[in-house]
Amino acid sequence: DRKKLHTAPVGQVFRLRPFHVLVATGGGYAGYRKYEDYKLEQLEKRGIEVPVKLASEWEVALYKSVPTRLLSRAWGRLNQVELPTWLRKPVYSLYIWTFGVNMKEAAVEDLHHYRNLSEFFRRKLKPQARPVCCVHSVISPSDGKILNFGQVKNCEVEQVKGVTYSLESFLGPRVSTEEMRFSQAPTGNSFQQQLVTKEGNELYHCVIYLAPGDYHCFHSPTDWTVSHRRHFPGSLMSVNPGVARWIKELFCHNERVVLTGDWKHGFFSLTAVGATNVGSIRIYFDQDLHTNSPSYSKGSYNDFSFISNNNKEGIPMRKGEHLGEFNLGSTIVLIFEAPKDFKFNLKAGQKIRFGEALGSL
């Protein structure tokens, strides 16, 4: 009286597609890395120095297999969905509690005012919440944490202590002379020497990490003129300090927008680096810029010159002027030329706010 059990082939019942495998394995590994980052942060808070352990090629490839660009576009659309009035306060209050947002600085403190998460992320501050330092020549363009700063040496820049990336890979090929107001150095010199336009000057860098709870707009760090924009479509891996310590040349892998130009001491650049869920980078005066777009492929870059027949100078920016914004949080990298007596007024790891001094002569 036994009944026969009819079973379908395993392949029909449980089909694994490559995309699903990549999402599952990559997502799981990304979660594991988040846990490792948390443990490192706890050790740092206790004053214990953490040795540098770089990711192997297969680990980087596995992380990059996670469809972070697609997920970030989906997150961006979710952020634009209008929330019911009754739901806004609970949702925003949870975010405020999780990331330590100081709403007393916001121009509008009433949480019901923000129709969606995108508006809340891009909230403006009260006029006097960030006074701009007038004494020092370079100020912080944003709120955030100082990951690293100092002189650029041997065409390598430190993203965090002990982990470097190539200056040329990060900025891309030298911008043509026609797009810059200053003359180009001899082509026989190194890439770093080509950026230094005045004898006796050095090249400096500063890396600022914007956490999700920080003010998401960024401003002009000094008086300068923007002459060129270079957009690198790329990955959108996390840029928190733990990952920056783990993946070499992380900033060269990720999508970024490089603004270059000059200030009174020569070459000056500001780069906005994208990250997971931060596919949207907006530059206020550049309406042609569209980041995290499916039409752009990784491994390429797109140039745009702000110098034209009608505009011989480029885009002038005043210190403290609104420049752009992120959707959530990310990283800003300053690379600029200055005399040898330029001094940073910083400590690695310190918190800084927009308008505070970075350094001066």
Range with the lowest mean pLDDT among 19-28, 120-129, 196-205?
19-28
What does the pLDDT read at residue 165?
A: 86
Distances (CA, A) of 39 to 45, 63, 123, 347: 10, 19, 31, 22
What does the pLDDT read at residue 4?
A: 53
**DSSP H helical ranges for the chain:** 10-13, 18-45, 57-64, 68-79, 85-99, 117-121, 167-171, 191-195, 241-246, 250-253
Tell me the catalytic residues. Answer: 143, 219, 330
Domain ranges (residues) in the chain = 72-129, 138-173+191-360
State pTM to two decimals.
Answer: 0.81
**Token output for 325:** 């914004």
Range with the lowest mean pLDDT among 23-27, 31-35, 152-156?
23-27
Contact present, 205 and 195 (Cβ < 8 Å) = no
**Token output for 293:** 């777009």
Query: In whole angstroms, what is the distance from residue 309 CA to residue 150 CA?
Result: 37
Query: In whole angstroms, what is the distance from residue 18 CA to residue 1 CA?
Result: 43
Q: Mean pLDDT score of the chain, rounded to an integer? A: 82
What does the pLDDT read at residue 10?
A: 46
What does the pLDDT read at residue 14?
A: 45
Highest mean pLDDT among 26-30, 31-35, 147-151, 173-177: 147-151
Task: Judge whether residue 255 has pLDDT over 70.
Answer: yes
Percent of the chain with pLDDT over 70: 80
Task: Judge whether residue 183 has pLDDT over 50.
Answer: no
DSSP 123: P
For helices 18-45 and 57-64, angle between their N-to-C axes, nearest 10 degrees: 120
Task: Judge whether residue 236 has pLDDT over 80.
Answer: yes
What does the pLDDT read at residue 35?
A: 64
What does the pLDDT read at residue 249?
A: 85
**Token output for 262:** 């000059």
What does the pLDDT read at residue 127?
A: 82
Spatial CB neighbours of 115, under 8 Å, sequence gap ≥ 6: 82, 83, 88
The residue type found at 245 is R
pLDDT, tens digit (0-9, with 9 covering 90-100), for 215-227? 889 999 999 999 9
What does the pLDDT read at residue 33?
A: 54
Range with the lowest mean pLDDT among 78-92, 136-150, 290-304, 314-328?
290-304
Query: In whole angstroms, what is the distance from residue 131 CA to residue 128 CA?
Result: 6
What does the pLDDT read at residue 261?
A: 95
- Looking at per-residue confidence, does 8 or 118 come out higher? 118
